[in-house]
């Protein structure tokens, strides 16, 4: 059942909401950290209301469970959006204006029946940013932040977006933690998963590319889960999205500037800082700008790493990696960048979403390190054809790395089907 502010304004829930907020304020309860206590108080208020209704003094409550959930969502959660946050089939939620709230399921979006008002959207944004340490205002009209459950929030303030603030919540839905899980989901084949796992263990540099919502972060998490436990991992992200199990891992995220305009920490700063932390591996959550140069310099020095970026194919990902470092300054030229990319990136994994909304690996491409006419050569190792991810003729570079860790890459790539 989807409740809207218009539905709940009729009386009962509004009254109980006001009573619950009074108790929370009086007892000094943090409603987001003490959601269990808020639920207990809500259940008690609903029960008391129900008892009073037996005397005829007030109307009966009706469905206790629905009312309690609405109260908890209003006070501890995120109001009418909470039902979508709790729905495991919903992947993303966005608000174009208060009367147009959309959700995405299985890669397809739909307009919901939820109707808000501008004040409700403003209150929701403030509540979502409360625990993140980030802000959005006239001087900082964009914000990326992480919600307590790990979902990613993006807000564009009214004035930059026309008419109303635009809100996106990309949910962190755990569907795969290791490469084998992607095989079960149909995103990957056993052979390709075995090859990627061996490549991670061998220390090859891997770039994960694809469009929005193609599953880049999930793939990065699954690849990172294959890193040997003896390695020290340092990761850098705009906001914390990577989640994988590793005993020696330091995760870092960027920071906004303060009200005085100082204190900003950019992704480029984190990449450079990570090199001072004795890493065995470096992971950059998403490369978007000049931080690509610092990542390339790290990879080119022999430090294994991974990163993701937006691109429509594996080869376009290589082109983009040759372009982004040019943003770092006028003294950076393509003559330096192109061969550096060719010798720094070993594999590109490209992801896509099919017509049914299923995320799949479309190709795994090797970068042998050669440049011809300013174009980086690439060889397909796996490619999707007629709906199947099939072995192609390419071989990964630096096969000696597999030998060092006791892996025979020829056996792995030529397993009997």
Architecture of domain 78-173: 2-Layer Sandwich (3.30)
Tell how many helices (H) and how many strands (E) occur in the chain. 15, 17
pLDDT value of position 244? 93
CA distance 40 to 94: 30
pLDDT band at 213, cuts 50/70/90? confident
pLDDT band at 283, cuts 50/70/90? very high
pLDDT band at 1, cuts 50/70/90? very low
Cα separation of the two ends of the chain: 48
Q: pLDDT tens digits for 135-186?
A: 888 888 988 988 887 888 999 998 899 889 999 999 877 678 999 999 999 9
Q: Tokens 């006070």 sit at which residue?
A: 75
pLDDT band at 292, cuts 50/70/90? very high
CA distance 158 to 416: 58
pLDDT at 112 over 50: yes
Domain ranges across the chain: 1-76, 78-173, 179-413
What number of other Cβ atoms are within 10 A of residue 32's Cβ? 17
**Alpha helices by DSSP H, 259-385:** 267-274, 291-300, 314-323, 334-344
pLDDT value of position 92? 92
Compute the radius of gyration of the chain from its Cα atoms.
25
pLDDT value of position 2? 43
Q: pLDDT tens digits for 41-63?
A: 888 888 888 788 778 777 777 77
Distance of CA 165 to the CA centre of its chain: 21
Range in 36-50, 158-172, 186-200, 367-381 with the lowest mean pLDDT: 36-50
pLDDT at 88 over 90: no
pLDDT value of position 417? 55
Give the largest Cα separation in the chain, rounded.
88
Question: How high does pLDDT run on average in the chain?
Answer: 88
Q: Is there a contact between 12 and 67 (Cβ–Cβ < 8 Å)?
A: yes
CATH 3.40.50.300 fits 179-413, yes or no: yes
pTM: 0.81
């Amino acid at each position: 059942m989807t409740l809207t502010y218009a539905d709940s304004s009729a009386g009962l829930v509004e009254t109980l909401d006001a009573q619950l907020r009074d108790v929370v304020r009086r007892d000094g309860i943090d409603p987001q950290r003490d959601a269990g206590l808020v639920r207990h108080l809500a259940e008690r208020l609903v029960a008391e209301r129900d008892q009073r209704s037996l005397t005829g003094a007030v109307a009966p409550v009706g469905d206790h469970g629905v009312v309690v959930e609405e109260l908890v969502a209003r006070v501890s959660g995120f109001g009418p959006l909470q039902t979508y946050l709790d729905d495991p089939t919903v992947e993303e939620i966005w608000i174009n204006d208060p009367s147009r709230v959309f959700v995405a399921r299985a890669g397809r979006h739909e307009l919901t029946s939820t109707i808000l008002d501008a004040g409700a959207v403003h209150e929701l944004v403030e509540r979502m940013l409360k625990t993140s340490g980030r802000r959005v205002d006239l001087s900082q009209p964009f914000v990326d932040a992480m919600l307590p459950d790990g979902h990613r929030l993006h807000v564009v303030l009214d004035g930059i977006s026309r008419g109303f603030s635009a809100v996106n919540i990309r949910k962190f839905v755990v569907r795969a933690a290791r490469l084998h899980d992607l095989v079960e989901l149909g995103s990957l084949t056993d052979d390709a998963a075995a090859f990627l796992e061996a490549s991670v263990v061998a220390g090859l540099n891997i770039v994960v590319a694809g469009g929005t919502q193609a599953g880049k972060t999930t793939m990065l998490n699954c690849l990172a889960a294959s890193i040997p436990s003896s390695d020290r991992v340092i990761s850098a992200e705009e906001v914390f999205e990577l989640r994988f199990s590793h005993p020696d891992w330091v995760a870092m995220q960027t920071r906004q500037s303060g009200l005085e305009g100082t204190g900003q920490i950019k992704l480029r700063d984190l990449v450079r800082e990570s090199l001072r932390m004795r890493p065995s591996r470096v992971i950059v959550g998403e490369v978007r700008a000049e931080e690509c140069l610092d990542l390339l310099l790290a990879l080119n020095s022999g430090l294994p790493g991974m990163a993701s970026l937006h691109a429509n194919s594996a080869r376009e990902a290589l082109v983009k990696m040759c372009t982004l470092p040019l943003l770092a300054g006028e003294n950076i030229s393509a003559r330096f960048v192109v061969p550096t990319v060719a010798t720094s990136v070993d594999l590109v994994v490209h992801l896509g979403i099919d017509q049914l909304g299923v995320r799949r690996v479309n190709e795994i491409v090797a970068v042998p390190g050669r440049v011809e006419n300013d174009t980086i050569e690439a060889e397909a190792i796996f490619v999707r054809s007629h709906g199947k991810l099939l072995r192609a003729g390419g071989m990964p570079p630096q096969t000696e790395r597999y030998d060092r860790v006791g892996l025979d890459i020829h056996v792995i790539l030529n397993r009997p089907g």
